[in-house]
Structure 1
Amino acid sequence: MNRPRLPHSRALLPLLVAVASLLAVTGCATASREKKAESRGFERGYRQAVKSQYWIIQNQQRQPSSAQTLPPDNINPLTP
């Protein structure tokens, strides 16, 4: 049996080829874009963790440790 042909099916062929090639090219660009976005996200997260650790250390150094400070009445308990 012969299939019925659509009128203008040959006119649509270049359009379909153009659309298919455009989709193929944008698919590659999307993969590259996703890879770059993932890399940027990793770098941002890494920098944020470094900044957080920096400020934790800075705040620890600013606060005196409770073991290092003595109350005034216990400085020299042997003297009357």
Structure 2
Amino acid sequence: MAVVLSLISALAYGVSDFLGGLFAKRSGPWQTAVVGQLSSTVCVAAAAAVVGGAAVGSDWAWASAGGVGAGVGAAV
């Protein structure tokens, strides 16, 4: 299972790196960052719906902090 998840992670990272560079050439960095964050949000929401479970307050706090950090990092 770890190997499969590692391969999926590597594929997702490679595709996002390629498409991010491609879109950054066609549009500005802010548009690229916004589209990247929105697509990440959709993917995480889909994964959360499949996995299920209940999120507590600290889960939301860490998720928000991670999203803000990723957004700032992508924008800078």
TM-score by length of 2: 0.34
TM-score, normalised by the number of residues in structure 1: 0.33
Relative to its length, the structure with more helix (as a share) is 2
More relative contact order in 1 or in 2 (CA 8 Å, sep 6+)?
2
Larger radius of gyration: 1
